[in-house]
Amino acid sequence: MGNDKPYRAKTKGKVERFIKYLRESFFVPLYATAKQSRQELDLATINIECTKWLNEVANKRIHQTTKRISAELLKKEREVLAIMYNSYFRSSDYKQDVIYSIVVPQARLNSI
């Protein structure tokens, strides 16, 4: 995505679609409600409303492509990633790899 032209939905479709969804589903209704009730929107209010929106709207909707609820997929993915993290990053092989990548290049620099 590094070479994408800004604001071009054809080249950055996924990002642009999410921004449109966020704007139309969260920001516009929030702003309209606040304006109608003559409330000012501060950061604390936006954070509270965003959490409610995530829990009640965004994280419950069925994704058009996968036909599944994205929040449930993310939860399963986190479980798998946690298992992978614990099996690799806590193993002695990983510690040796890290020590090797830190110590060996330094040793090579000293010998030059």
Q: What is the mean pLDDT of the chain?
A: 76
| E strand or H helix at 3 | none
Tell me the C-alpha distance between 49 and 98, whole Å.
43
- pTM score, whole prediction: 0.55
Q: What is the pLDDT of residues 43-98, one digit of tens each?
A: 999 999 999 999 899 888 888 888 999 888 888 888 888 887 777 666 555 555 55
Residue 33 burial (CB count, 10 A): 12
pLDDT at position 30 over 50: yes
| pLDDT over threshold 70, residue 4 | no
Task: Supply the Cα-derived Rg of the chain in whole angstroms.
Answer: 23
Q: Which residues share a beta bridge with 62?
A: 69
- What sections of 10-69 are H helices per DSSP? 13-22, 28-36, 43-56
